[in-house]
Chain A
């Protein structure tokens, strides 16, 4: 599903974020991505949702090398990837409903289906009373839930969430995690970057840990479906 091979990543003039990293995430796996602030969690996710290219190495997603995808090919790949951005990235002048509807509209879904599914999902994340609210009128936690709803509305094959529970209390965080669990049960591959050790402990999923530009598997997981995440040291 997701395969990194000898990936080397750094931003222009910045520190090395990934040094010769290789790992695989099996289809239908669920991983937490942990690491100190600045370790490169967001960058790793960005590589996976095709918003950044590695300096060298190969990244394949859905069995295709995405580092060589053309501009024309990228949109179709991106539609299979749901992303919860750390800074939400909602469109400020669109209502909650229209923000969540965007991926469906881009994919050309019938408006009647949109009217049916979007309010349903917004209700699930506890925003049924705010369908027409603009993001700016909502709290950080509410905006985050819109962002989550937008990421899962089109039932992506790969779901990437960057600190998706950073702005909500643990009770809501758990509820949101169940949403990801639901998707996971339907076969979606999930990667969640988080600081929240409570969550990681509470849900029984393997963990990818970023440190010193490397990724280590700290799964200690009992889950049979847990994927192997290995680091190839590249000396």
Chain B
């Protein structure tokens, strides 16, 4: 791969612009790929976390509806006897207050009456009829609502799909642009080195010998550019992660924290940056080199084949 070059392609303009161009391409590809992978990881993680869970929300008591504790106990009694509800756990008031704090401010959150939240774990084999349960909850404590996060998860899935498709489009465009850049460089090189190529032909070089000179050159430049791009992308991603999550590694939010800003940050962190993401990133320079090699070889052979 690092063999000699009879054509001194290293002195061509392509040696100056191709690595930079391919660095940008690989940088974009790295961001797109990790964006897509993160979105998938994010959804998988939240599917696992939220699937089979639900949250019951009892609004603060108003006149004639019983006390806070009465209402909560009525709901808990009902939940305990509902088939399919494996566990019902009231969320401590302090936690609820903390959740609302960022939205309301500490003072207001302390002063306003809080709703009561109950975390449910639902059985997988015994599906709960949520519509019926909602009706019965309304009877037990008027104004009570149940949310199984289905809607939220479905929105999040749509978002993840959008991110994935966008990343896919970006990747295709990046590859296309990289191929075009290599083809352009190769065609320029063929024109610049026409005389030397003719000499090589006259002393018996087949087209693929010429192609080899160009493909090595392009592959090497793409590898260099790819490494630069990946270093930049890794730096950017790590910086972004650090900025979004603060320094320490977090455990991700609990189901009851999903809707808080702190929860959002934790989400990004939960999306995680695992070995798969790193493997994809580390493979990018080699992928770029391979694509450049194939593009260079193909275009050299195509141009030479049209010669008499």
Contacts and interface: CB of A to CB of B under 8 A. Distances in A.
Given A49-B202, A105-B6, 8 more contacts: A71-B305, A71-B307, A72-B206, A89-B202, A94-B8, A102-B203, A103-B203, A105-B4
Interface stretch (B28-36, B62-70, B152-160, B193-201): B193-201
Interface in A163-185: none
A99 to B, nearest CB: 9
A71 B204 CA distance: 11
Interface string A72-116: 101110110101010001010110001000110111000000000
A51 interface: yes
B6 A79 contact: no
Interface residues of A, number: 23
Contacts of B6: 91, 94, 98, 102, 105
A3 interface: no
A75 B199 contact: no
B202 A83 contact: yes
A71 B302 CA distance: 13
A106 B203 contact: yes
Q: Is the interface of B mostly helix, strand, loop or mixed?
A: helix
A189 to B, nearest CB: 17
A58 to B, nearest CB: 18
B209 interface: yes
Nearest to B207: A71
Given A72-B206, A75-B206, A93 B8 contact: yes
B204 A103 contact: yes
A209 interface: no
Interface in A134-162: 150
A91 B196 contact: yes
B13 interface: no
A150 B204 CA distance: 12
A75 B8 contact: no
27 contacts: A71-B207, A71-B304, A72-B206, A75-B201, A75-B204, A75-B205, A76-B204, A78-B203, A79-B203, A81-B204, A83-B202, A89-B202, A91-B6, A91-B196, A91-B199, A94-B8, A98-B4, A98-B6, A102-B6, A103-B204, A105-B4, A105-B6, A106-B200, A106-B204, A106-B205, A106-B209, A150-B203
Contacts of B203: 78-79, 83, 102-103, 106, 150
B305 A78 contact: no
B292 to A, nearest CB: 23
